[in-house]
Structure 1
Amino acid sequence: MGIKNRGVIKLGAFADLVLFDANAVIDQATVENVMRLSGGNSSSL
């Protein structure tokens, strides 16, 4: 398709996948507060 930096896992390539620790993510939403964000996730790896 001619899209550059796709199909590889390397520095500078687009994020075609996301890795996370499912045991570390904590669902904090409730019926009363459905918009409350999850905890335990971090964008700084």
Structure 2
Amino acid sequence: SFFLAWMKKRGTPRHEIEAELRALDILIVQLRTPPFSRQALGGLGGMLG
């Protein structure tokens, strides 16, 4: 991916790149999980309502 190529070009150590990717994966999974989405939407609704 572009992101990986960019990280390598900057000379980022491989273990750091992998840690970044893991963090991204975790974030994406959390955003996709229904309970999280409902909580986030509920929180927004509470603030707006």
TM over 0.5: no
- Ranked by relative contact order (alpha carbons within 8 Å, sequence separation 6 or more), the top structure is 1
Instruction: State TM-score, norm by structure 1.
Output: 0.34
